[in-house]
Homo-oligomer: A and B are copies of this chain.
């Protein structure tokens, strides 16, 4: 668990010094409920959390996952109420900061403010990518794209260059993230295995043929790669 090292390395480090508390959430527990005012910010220490909306008949759309090292609800401190639910996908540990402290810290440091903007830009990029995935890609393409995206984000958090993508949630979660049924997720994964692009196990997915996967998913990692923040108008 070297996430702290990672966090500490960024321009966001000053955040870590602020008052905070560390809270454990068991899998399934709600972290931020629908319509709840958002006045805290969160950093995932371990586990996965997820942001989702539920339709009346029980359909669930997972909007995105928060992985270890991820910050979230940074932008929601302007008096908004949550329009979705955040809950623990696995057993999860979060550091929770007070929104006011955070705002003051941002106002003290333009460098911190810029870093925070950067995180928000990244998050919007992830949302847009999710829209392209579920709007215009086939099941296999969606899965390939999503796996590569997870892999990219996990590599950032871990610092490794690993081809194994841990997946600590059941395939039903993949289904609700990608707008597919569990059954079809399973079948599509089977196809990807048959094409020797990936191997699967209970614990995750192993990328076997990254090039083909990238081609199938039209996944351009450059679009997501963090770039140095130029700190304009500092």
State the CA gap A102–B68 with chains docked (Å). 34
Q: Of A55, A75, A136, A177, which is in contact with the most chain B CB atoms at under 10 Å from its CB?
A: A136
Instruction: Count the copies.
Output: 2
Binds B, one of A2-10, A114-122, A157-165, A191-199: A114-122
Give the contact-size bracket for chain A.
35 or more
Which B residues are in CB contact (< 8 Å) with A120?
75, 120
Inter-chain contact B124/A75, CB cutoff 8 Å: yes
Which B residues are in CB contact (< 8 Å) with A39?
232
Which listed residue (B76, B129, B218) contacts A55, Cβ 8 A?
A: B218
Inter-chain contact B229/A78, CB cutoff 8 Å: yes
Which B residues are in CB contact (< 8 Å) with A21?
none
Asked if A131 CB lies within 8 Å of chain B CBs, one says yes
Which B residues are in CB contact (< 8 Å) with A107?
110, 233
Asked if A20 CB lies within 8 Å of chain B CBs, one says no
Which listed residue (B78, B131, B229, B232) contacts A99, Cβ 8 A?
A: B232
Given contacts A55-B136, A136-B60, A136-B179, whether A124 and B127 have CB atoms under 8 Å apart is yes
Interface 1/0s, chain A 204-234, versus B by CB < 8 A?
Answer: 0000000000000010000110011111110
Given contacts A75-B117, A114-B78, A218-B56, whether A63 and B179 have CB atoms under 8 Å apart is no
Binds B, one of A25-33, A41-49, A79-87, A147-155: A79-87
Asked if A103 CB lies within 8 Å of chain B CBs, one says yes
Asked if A134 CB lies within 8 Å of chain B CBs, one says yes
A-B contact sample (6 more), CB < 8 A, given A53-B132, A77-B232: A55-B136, A61-B135, A83-B125, A134-B179, A135-B177, A136-B176
